Amino acid sequence: MTAFKTLDDVDVAGKRVLVRVDLNVPMDGDRVTDDTRLRAIQPTLNELSQKGAKTILLAHFGRPKGKRDESQSLRPVVAALEKTLIQDVGFAEDCVGEAAAAAVARMTPGDVLLLENVRFHAGEETNDPAFAAELAKLGDIYVNDAFSAAHRAHASTEGLARLLPAYAGRSMQAELDALSKALGSPERPVVAVVGGAKVSTKLDLLGNLVAKVDYLVIGGGMANTFLAAQGIDVGKSLCERDLLDTAREIEAKAKAAGCTIVLPADGRLAREFKAEAANRVAAVTEVAADEMILDIGPAGAEGVAKVLEQAKTLVWNGPFGAFELTPFDEGTVAVAQKAAALTVEGRLLSVAGGGDTVAALNHAGVAGDFTYVSTAGGAFLEWLEGKELPGVAALSATN
């Protein structure tokens, strides 16, 4: 991964530091219902305050389409941010112009100020140089601590990094370090677990991974498409029959690259997609015409556990089944617990990411035991796909 500067490389005392953060948090009215993203940026913001910086936060919220929309204001996030940081947080009614400039001018070292939603301006999403220049007037230094927005070439994630001295915040630094260890220069053997519903959403991902990993474990609805490509009848299971040739191409690519594809040997089958539906465990070759595979079975989970036993590095994106419904969570939970145990023993470096994956690991009670769990969805996926992330590339370009 290209070199980038961190907060260790700069003296921030008395400086106006523009920090791009991710405050796109779930809300119920004016109340933040999940503060995960706030806790992720806490180390960076507390460090800047303690070192005497004037910390100015840039963030987006929702999709206001370049116009002011009070229902998507960042003002309600202030209270939750104050609670997380244990300090007062100011708020400016705009992110550029007189309101922002006046609020910044009033700041003293150690203060934290949140600017209004950058997406209230059309120039944010078009990466308009004039809008980026307006933002740049407010700061002396730029820090990006929003990996989850790094796949977007927007004014506050990419344009601004080219106008001011740019650094990675602690959350961004941890993410990039973890990702570099997982796929940049990993210890082998490397295992990738890729689950989820559809092959079609992860074609680029699968194509990139077969060239980089030693074992590709395919789970969830995606596995059914690969099984069907081998001539196995998967009954009523979710299956993209128009992609059977694609699945065979990926298998051929994997073989040529020396990557072993691991598919489930058995599954937990049901006739209805609902919690506690009548179910049975059977080999994947024994699925009845009116049955669906809703989870990997115990033999399949054990097979994945054996692969993990010999691995040094694990990258995980996507569950093995309908983990939101009991008992179709058992396969995902069993594999997650195995990966966590190996990580705790120091035998495995484990990096996981994506919304469903984070939810599944939390459900299994092991998210805290993985080496690194990324809360970024699109950015994590694009990184796994081998794509350059504009927000990261801009940090590197400033060196």
Is residue 104 scored above 80 in pLDDT? yes
Reduce the DSSP state of residue 91 to 3 states and report it: strand
**Amino acid 376: pLDDT:** 83
Q: Rounded distance, CA 352 to CA 339, Å?
A: 11
280 is in an annotated binding site: no
pLDDT one-digit tens code per residue, 46-101: 999 999 999 999 999 999 999 999 999 999 999 999 999 999 999 999 999 999 99
Residues acting as catalytic residues: 37, 198, 355, 378
63 is in an annotated binding site: yes
Q: Rounded distance, CA 53 to CA 251, Å?
A: 53
| Residue 50 host element (H or E) | helix 36-50
125 is in an annotated binding site: no
356 is in an annotated binding site: yes
Q: Higher pLDDT residue, 355 or 84?
A: 84
Q: In the chain, what are the domains?
A: 7-171 (3.40.50.1260), 186-384 (3.40.50.1260)
38 is in an annotated binding site: no
233 is in an annotated binding site: no
Angle, nearest 10°, between helix axes 36-50 and 77-85?
Answer: 60
**Amino acid 23: pLDDT:** 95
Q: Do the Cβ atoms of 69 and 109 come closer than 8 Å?
A: no
pLDDT one-digit tens code per residue, 157-190: 999 999 999 999 999 999 999 988 898 889 999 9
Dihedral, CA of residue 100, residue 101, residue 102 and residue 106, to nearest 10: 100
pTM: 0.87
Reduce the DSSP state of residue 14 to 3 states and report it: coil
**Amino acid 158: pLDDT:** 96
Q: Do the Cβ atoms of 198 and 186 come closer than 8 Å?
A: no
357 is in an annotated binding site: yes
**Which DSSP letter does residue 260 get?**
E
